[in-house]
Amino acid sequence: MENKLTEEQYHILREKGTELPFTGKYLQNKKKGKYMCAACGASLFSSETKFDSHCGWPSFFAAEGNVKLKKDVSHGMKRIEVLCKKCDGHLGHVFDDGPKPTGKRFCINSLSLEFNGDKK
């Protein structure tokens, strides 16, 4: 079931946009919980894998099973796009400069996410 997206969320998730660095609402979020797709609600990332990469977007060293990767050669660059496996929503990109144990940095737009905090 598709959630109602704001104009900004639609631009990111459906038109492959990018939010400005250091502006996302989840960049500094330190709470425990799950990050879900803002469009369809699929569980994408755990707070346990979030780290501060100083790149300007929320970063994770691992994803849950609801993401897929796709070659992206837009804007004259060679990158790997991160998509929601359930609804094909654009989330961000993944790079090979993250911490152990994976060495990955999933660089994700806050607008593509909804946070579901642990109930404690």
Number of domains in the chain: 1
What number of other Cβ atoms are within 10 A of residue 100's Cβ? Answer: 6
Q: What is the pTM of this model?
A: 0.93
Q: Does residue 2 belong to any structural domain of this protein?
A: no
Residue 82 belongs to domain spanning: 7-117
Residue that has been written with the tokens 């905090």 in this structure: 117
- Cα separation values, 84 from 68, 76, 100, 115, Å: 6, 23, 23, 15
In this structure, what CATH number is given to the domain that contains residue 21?
A: 2.170.150.20
Q: Is 107 a catalytic residue?
A: yes
Q: What number is the average pLDDT over the span 61-89? A: 95
Q: What is the pLDDT of residues 22-50, one digit of tens each?
A: 999 999 999 999 999 999 999 999 999 99
The active-site residue out of 37, 84, 87, 107 is 107
